[in-house]
Chains A and B, each alone.
Chain A
Amino acid sequence: MKFGVVIFPGSNCDFDTFHVLKNVIQQPTTWLWHKDHGLQGVDCVVLPGGFAYGDYLRSGAIARFSPLMQEVGEFADKGGVVLGICNGFQVLLELGLLPGAMLRNKNLKFLCQFVTIRLENEGTRFTHKGKKGQVLRVPIAHFDGNYFAPPETLKEIEENSQVVFRYSGANGSLTEEANVNGSLHSIAGLMNKRGNVMGLMPHPERASERLLGSEDGRVIFESIISKF
């Protein structure tokens, strides 16, 4: 499976993501510069973490107008697989490929720490190698990860089982304390209705090697490359 990692000015998890896809998951991986045209025949586009365009105005707000992002939108419309990590998730929300928006974390602090998230839906191309209820230990690093959607949108998301991950305790319990950034319904990861686009705030690419303290994030990449 061929991966493309998009680079925006201000991306800073692009190299980590590229490294994990190429060297850990061992898949052909290419760079996609945000101003270029053409997705170079990739099967999966990954929008990495960082601060695209400095996150001026709102996180992800300017990045969505990059020339390449229009093509990523068309790619997703045709069923192409798109994964947005952290800032990449914010870009997908601003682009409208995923429903809702991000607000500042409830405690108004930049949160940089390990969290635990519970896998909610194992019937997706991003998680089918995992088990529902499984708890992953993965890091977060963001200022705007407080997920918001109007009540009718939230209802639709839940009814369609679009919530892929929720912030939870290490035992899988959903508590206010575990919901570190204040996200509605403790949402940490979300996919579109069709199931080909997913965004998540935690960084699976920073938790894919034992050396870095956790390998729990690998299940996402391993699911993507396996037959679904």
Chain B
Amino acid sequence: MLEIRNLHVTVDDKPILRGLDLAVKAGEVHAIMGPNGSGKSTLAHVLAGREGYVVTAGEILYRGRNLLELAPEERAREGVFLAFQYPVEIPGVANIYLLKAAVNAARKHRGEPELDAMDFLALVKAKLRLMEMDESLLYRAVNEGFSGGEKKRNEILQMAVLEPRLAILDETDSGLDIDALQVVAAGVNAMRSPERAMILVTHYQRLLDHVRPDRVHVLAHGRIALSGGPELALELEQRGYGWVEAKAAKAAEGAAGVPS
């Protein structure tokens, strides 16, 4: 599904990702963990095509295609979905309008007919129940005046409605109380399928109590410093990130001067 090779990314000329490799297969859920500033969110933004993130080396293949040559909207229509760490408020644009425009943009891209109002509403209502969200949220402006938890749930609602092939959740668990976390986790688990890959970017273990990943990766100094099974998350919870970082720093020192 996704193959990242030797990815180097700079932001404002500052190197953030420094040779990241990652392969995610359909049906898998990968957790990307790491301390603040390790490049987790940068990875998420690069995958979604955010401007200002400059890829200086490496490649990203999505279903065998060069993802980097696609505009953000093309990625979305091809099935890449990013649940934003900070969902953006858009006054004056109703939530339901965005959902409908998003669904139909993807359908049109696939050569399918646009959903009519009735079918669309039925689809959305089913997903709303899954996310335990009130229907009235549909008619409010996108994220405007939403609480932190509502915004995150709204991201997962969008994911549920859009049914992406590759979902990247950027710190979706941060700022959630335990009830909201469970709702979000239930939404994510409901979305697990053999055709879908998911990347959970998270700082803490706690989302992984509810969503069991297939693989856990630790990002430090712009590359994957350590990978393992779900038990790695528990170890990190107990030992912290310090020991991984120290190891990564040592490795980076060794690699210094070597052209990437």
A-B interaction: no
